[in-house]
Amino acid sequence: MMDKQKIYPRSQDRETVYLKNVITDPSIIVGDYTMYNDFVKDPVDFQKNNVLYHYPINHDRLIIGKFCSIACGARFLFNSANHSMASLATYPFPIFFEEWGLDVSRITRAWDNKGDIVIGNDVWIGYEAVVFAGVTIGDGAIIGTRAVVTKDVPPYTIVGGVPAKPIRKRFSNEIITALLATRWWDWPEEKIAGHLAAIQSGRIDQIK
């Protein structure tokens, strides 16, 4: 039976990890079997190398569903990367509160807080894609190589480009509705294993 608790899902591969099992930050929540591959850096260091400007003072979260595939160099850019657009200056004065005699409790005024990043289930995020704070990516979506995702992505939609825009839906509306209702990723492992042939061959009629 599958072992979702191990770090390396393939015995001879140290570039691919089950992401949930290398995360120590409680504000990063990852579902079972979601995997990250990195052939440049150690994939175990995902939360340091790929989750950027993610500081506890913001209380923002990265939430990733089950069975996602995250390619090398994909990054999640959080709120502290922003500078306040309401300010007349782009310079983040509040973070240099000591220099300017400002109240440290107002440090978060240096940036706009757009909220959490939420990734659905069975999402494929391509090589060196960037996902911005406040974005929600729906189940089954595909994020193209080096796409910059600044807006929400609907379920089962392929997006690409800078900024990322929809290219097409993966399936018909009927099949998408059925997949979202079926939620195969929440099935027991034995049931998923028993339906792999239907899943991989696109036989929605066999998994409804």
The catalytic site residues sit at 83
Token digits for 96? 């240099």
Separation CA 129–CA 82 (nearest Å):
18
CA 130 to chain centre: 9
Residue with tokens 């500081």: 55
Q: What does the DSSP 8-state code read for residue 50?
A: T
Separation CA 152–CA 136 (nearest Å):
5
How many angstroms separate the Cα of 81 from the Cα of each of 29, 53, 58, 76, 112? 20, 6, 11, 10, 9
**Proportion of the chain in helix, strand, coil states, percent, rounded to 5:** 30, 20, 50
If we measure between CA atoms, which residue out of 67, 89, 58, 77 comes closest to residue 19? 67
Q: Is 80 buried (19+), middle (13-18) or exposed (0-12) by CB count in 10 A?
A: buried
